[in-house]
Structure 1
Amino acid sequence: MIESKGRNTRKLALWIDKNQVGIIAGYHIELRIIENGRVEALLMEPGLSDELPPIPSQVDTVNLTWQGGDQRFRYWFENLTSLDQHLLYNPLLSIPAHGWIPHQATVFQMSIPCTGKDEGVASIVLGLHIYTTSGHAVHNTPIIFKLKKRCTAFALCNPRCENNGTCVSPRMCACPAGYSGHHCEKVVCGRPCQNGGQCLPEGFCFCPEGFYGDACELSRCNPECIKKGTCNQPCKRLVKPDTDVRPRRRIPPEVNGEGGTTRKQRRKNRKDRRAINEKKILKTEKRILKIINRKSKTWNLTRDERRQIRKIQREVKTRALQITERNYLVKILTGERDKLNKKEKQKLKRYKKLLKLNRKRRGKAKTKTKRRKKDV
């Protein structure tokens, strides 16, 4: 394959630029795969894959460039498979596996990381289908290509994962609850949660009944400690979080539009506050999803994490997200917090605050419902 002297920007094309080919094979030439809407004839020759040199072990990503020109083309990547799973992971794309080819020249990446378990030459198989808007396949497609990569043994995560983290891919650790960072070196909740508290991905402790504080280190006691003392041991008589032991003046029911509020009005006010808070969450959620959509291509996310993010982005168009899905978005952004700018960090902080407020209000509503059932 020779270097292209001039490319027709109005035709379908797919190529690897000469700088990338120089890194992979040592030849500073442009590798043309599709030119002027036609697959290069040399790619169709049998035995070509065996003649190509293996990709060096230090190359983990390959940059490809393509364009659709004046026409619209639908693409579909299939069979992105490693034939030597103990040496090489399955390839990962920085774009969806199917969609539309952009009109102008656009670069996308294919990641081909080694497992680091052993040394050797691994093979991968790539399949690419391209169709016109009428559903007809482009001439000489699908393109089925076989590449080789040289792999060496190495420590998957260097430095090693801390705090009982598990290494899942090169330089990427899966962290237990309460820890984050590339090597699980950051404590999410600041301090370990005490008294059976659970560290949530949002960065705070969820305390069991009767305890409170940033690390659930304090307990509510009856009678209360005097002279500014702090109760920090479990008590036999725990005061519920929504119970006030002080004497309270009774508020008479509403009479002729004056005085206190009725139970029905208080219930309506709570519903209104929850509805307002939900609107704020949805508004902030849109901004959070925009941040993820814009920046996730450069983050070190696993294949399952990217699949889950795409699923959430589809679901949010038809319904409100569940609390577990919202917590998952917070977990992803918190793990990549060092790559966010100041404004994006503020949006993440606001989203966490709104979710925490929503959780508190729902918890109070459930407690009151249980109390009413007991009274009945």
Structure 2
Amino acid sequence: MVGLNSKKSIHIACQIVLILGFGASVCFGSFSLFLRREEVHRLLGLNSELYYVRDGKVNTYALGFEVVVPNEISELRFTWESLIHQKLQYSMAVLVNKTEALGTPHLDIPRKGLVPEEQEVFQVSLPCTGKQSEEVDVRIQINVTTESQLNVTFLTLKRRKICLK
């Protein structure tokens, strides 16, 4: 596989694994989900990317943290891409514990669809209502599954949104 780009190499490796019967779990998760450097800097003041899934490996350490979202930030931007030429279906939900302080969250992509094959940014809007000051628990749930539905990855991204009156 010398000289092939990484996406093509991964795709060929997955095909070989499936043909030999080792199972799809080795190939599944061949996507990445992360916060770009600018987003991490905007949220946390750090100069680095934050990967939740990198090249198919789930970062459980990163998923364990609850990121505080200040009042002045009303949208979150995530970057993702499929790394294989197989349809990766996703479904997404945004759950909140208090609706008085936080309006209805909004995704700028459909709640169900296919993970893009090129890097793409999607946004979750978290609009404060201004009716009361509160810390709101936000859970962004993302499920990604292979076309054959043999493997599913469940992710829950935790946020604590600060809303001020």
Which TM-score bucket, shorter chain as reference?
Answer: 0.7 to 0.9
| Preserved contact between residue 21 and residue 28 of structure 1 (Cα < 8 Å) | yes
Query: Counterpart of 2:105 in structure 1: which amino acid?
Result: P
Determine the structure 2 residue equivalent to 1:76.
91
TM-score, length-scaled by structure 2: 0.76
Determine the structure 1 residue equivalent to 2:70.
56
Q: Is 2:130 the partner of 1:116?
A: yes
Determine the structure 2 residue equivalent to 1:39.
58
Q: Which has the larger radius of gyration?
A: 1
CA-to-aligned-CA distance 1:328-369 (integer Å, 9 cap, x gap)? xxxxxxxxxxxxxxxxxxxxxxxxxxxxxxxxxxxxxxxxxx
Equivalences for residues 75-154 of structure 1 within 5 A: 75-78=90-93, 80-138=94-152, 141-153=153-165
Query: Counterpart of 2:154 in structure 1: which amino acid?
Result: P
| Preserved contact between residue 141 and residue 154 of structure 2 (Cα < 8 Å) | yes
Determine the structure 2 residue equivalent to 1:66.
80
Aligned partners of 1:37 and 1:15: how far apart in 2?
12
Offset, 1:117: 0.7
Runs of 4 or more off by more than 3 Å in structure 1?
8-11
Aligned partners of 2:63 and 2:131: how far apart in 1?
34
Offset, 1:44: 5.2
Query: Counterpart of 1:122 in structure 2: which amino acid?
Result: V
CA-to-aligned-CA distance 1:38-89 (integer Å, 9 cap, x gap)? 21131454xx32xx4x2111111111111002232000013x1221111112
Task: Please report the RMSD computed on the Cα atoms of aligned residues, expressed in angstroms.
Answer: 1.7
Determine the structure 1 residue equivalent to 2:47.
28
Equivalences for residues 288-327 of structure 1 within 5 A: none
Determine the structure 1 residue equivalent to 2:31.
12
Offset, 1:104: 0.8
- The answer to which structure, 1 or 2, has the higher relative contact order (CA under 8 A, 6+ apart) is 2
Q: Report which of the two has the higher share of helix.
A: 1
Aligned partners of 2:43 and 2:120: how far apart in 1?
20
| Preserved contact between residue 63 and residue 158 of structure 2 (Cα < 8 Å) | no
Equivalences for residues 337-352 of structure 1 within 5 A: none
Offset, 1:144: 2.0
Aligned partners of 2:96 and 2:63: how far apart in 1?
21
Where does structure 1 lack aligned partners over 5 or more consecutive residues? 1-7, 154-376
TM-score, length-scaled by structure 1: 0.35
| Preserved contact between residue 81 and residue 90 of structure 1 (Cα < 8 Å) | no
- Residue 69 of structure 2: SS of its match in structure 1? coil
Gap change, CA 1:23 and 1:105, over 3 Å in 2: same
Query: Counterpart of 2:158 in structure 1: which amino acid?
Result: K
| Preserved contact between residue 51 and residue 62 of structure 2 (Cα < 8 Å) | no
Where does structure 2 lack aligned partners over 5 or more consecutive residues? 1-5, 11-29
